[in-house]
Structure 1
Amino acid sequence: MDTAAADTSTYIPRAARFAELVACGPATIKLSIIEADAAQPVTGAAIDAVRAIIAQAGGRLAATRHLNAGFAILHQGEEGLWLLLHWWLEGGIATHLLWRSDLEGEPKFAPAEPLLMACVWELGIIDFERRAWMETAMSGKPISDYLTRTMPRGTV
Structure 2
Amino acid sequence: MKPPEPYLARRIAPIDTWREAGHAIKVYGIHRDPDLAGPMLSDAITASARAAARAVLEGEAANDRCHGLGFCIVHVGDEAIWLLVDWWITGGIVCQRMLSAPLAQPDTFTPVTQPALACVWELVVTAHERDAWVRHMLTAKPEPAAWLHDVLPAGRY
**Could you tell me how far 1:117 is from its partner in structure 2?**
0.8
Using the size of structure 2 for normalisation, the TM-score is: 0.90
Identity of aligned residues (%): 27
Per-residue displacement from partner, 1:62-103 (whole Å, max 9, x unpaired)?
A: 135111100000011111100001100111100010001111
Q: For residue 70 of structure 2, what is the aligned residue in structure 1?
A: 70
Q: CA RMSD in A?
A: 1.5
Opposite residue 26 of structure 2, the aligned amino acid is K
Matches for 1:4-83 after TM superposition, within 5 Å: 4=1, 7-38=3-34, 39=36, 41-59=40-58, 60-63=60-63, 65-83=65-83
Using the size of structure 1 for normalisation, the TM-score is: 0.91
**39-48 or 127-136, larger mean C-alpha shift:** 39-48
**118-127 or 38-47, larger mean C-alpha shift:** 38-47
Per-residue displacement from partner, 1:29-48 (whole Å, max 9, x unpaired)?
A: 10000101142742110001
CA distance in 1, matches of 2:108, 2:64: 26
Q: For residue 89 of structure 1, what is the aligned residue in structure 2?
A: 89
**Could you tell me how far 1:58 is from its partner in structure 2?**
2.7
Opposite residue 123 of structure 1, the aligned amino acid is L
Q: Contact 2:100–2:112 at 8 Å: present in 1 too?
A: yes
Gapped regions of structure 1 (runs ≥ 5): none
Gapped regions of structure 2 (runs ≥ 5): none
Q: Which runs of 4+ in 1 moved over 3 A?
A: none
Report SS of the residue matched to 1:138. coil
CA distance in 1, matches of 2:48, 2:105: 12
CA distance in 1, matches of 2:86, 2:134: 15
| Corresponding residue pairs, total | 152
Decide which structure has greater helix share: 1
**Could you tell me how far 1:114 is from its partner in structure 2?**
4.1
CA distance in 2, matches of 1:36, 1:29: 23
